[in-house]
Amino acid sequence: MSLQVLTDLHQEVRRLFIAGSSVAAGDLRLTRLLPQLRKLGENAPVFNRLADGVQLVTEAKPEQASAKLLELGTLLHSILYTQGRTEAQGTLEEVQVTDTRGVTAIPYRKMRALIDALTERGPGRLEVIREGYEDSLFQDFRTHMPAVAALEDGYAEIAEFIYDQVIPSIGPAVVPILHRQLNLQGGKGDARKLYLIHHLQGPVNAELILQAAGEGGAEVRIAAVDILGDYPEQEDVVLEQSYERRKEVRRAALSALSRLGTGRAADRLFEALTGKDRELAVEPIQAYFPPALTQRILDQAEAWLNAFDGSSVKAEAVEQLSAVVQCLKGKNDEAVRVFLEKLLSSPAFMVKETTAVQEYAAGLLLDMQRPEGYRFVESLYRQWGGKHISYSFQAALRCLSPEEVYDQFAPLIHHKQQAQAKELLNTLYDLTERLALTVYRDAEDSSVISWDPRWVHLFLDINEEELVCRFVQEPDTKITDYLLKKVRVAPQQMKPRTVSLFFALFKIGHEETPELLMQALEGSKGRQFYYLDRDKLALMSLLPGSYAERLEKFADLLSYESVKQQVLEVAERLKTKTSDEAEMGKGAGWIEWIKSKMY
Q: What is the CA radius of gyration of the chain?
A: 38
How far is it, in rounded angstroms, from Cα 261 to Cα 269? 10
Length of the chain in terms of residues written: 599
What are the distances in angstroms from CA 240 to CA 271, 287, 552, 588?
A: 14, 21, 71, 64
Signed CA dihedral, 177, 180, 184, 186: sign only: negative
Closest CA to 535 of 580, 501, 572, 489: 501
Whether the per-residue pLDDT at 87 is higher than 80: the answer is no
**Higher-pLDDT residue of 1, 27:** 27
Amino acid at position 408, single letter: Q
Amino acid at position 301, single letter: A
Neighbours of 514 (CB within 10 A): 20
pLDDT at 473: 86
pLDDT at 357: 94
Whether the per-residue pLDDT at 427 is higher than 70: the answer is yes
What are the distances in angstroms from CA 438 to CA 126, 250, 339, 444, 544?
A: 35, 49, 40, 10, 18
**Higher-pLDDT residue of 393, 414:** 393
pLDDT tens sequence across 330-386:
998 899 999 999 999 999 899 898 999 999 999 999 999 999 999 999 999 999 999
pLDDT at 587: 41
Q: What is the mean pLDDT of residues 53-80?
A: 86
**Higher-pLDDT residue of 62, 506:** 506
Whether the per-residue pLDDT at 598 is higher than 80: the answer is no
Q: What is the DSSP letter of 275?
A: S
Q: Are the beta carbons of 439 and 584 closer than 8 angstroms?
A: yes
Q: Are the beta carbons of 269 and 257 closer than 8 angstroms?
A: yes
Whether the per-residue pLDDT at 24 is higher than 70: the answer is yes
CA angle 581, 587, 589 (to 5 degrees): 155
pLDDT tens sequence across 522-565:
888 777 677 777 788 888 888 888 888 999 998 888 888 888 88
Q: Are the beta carbons of 413 and 424 closer than 8 angstroms?
A: yes
Neighbours of 124 (CB within 10 A): 7
Signed CA dihedral, 157, 158, 162, 165: sign only: positive
Mapping DSSP onto H, E and C, the string for 129-193 reads HHHHHHCCHHHCHHHHHHHHHHHHCCCHHHHHHHHHHHHHHHHHHHHHHHHHHCCCCCCHHHHHH
How far is it, in rounded angstroms, from Cα 184 to Cα 212? 6
Q: Are the beta carbons of 529 and 562 closer than 8 angstroms?
A: no
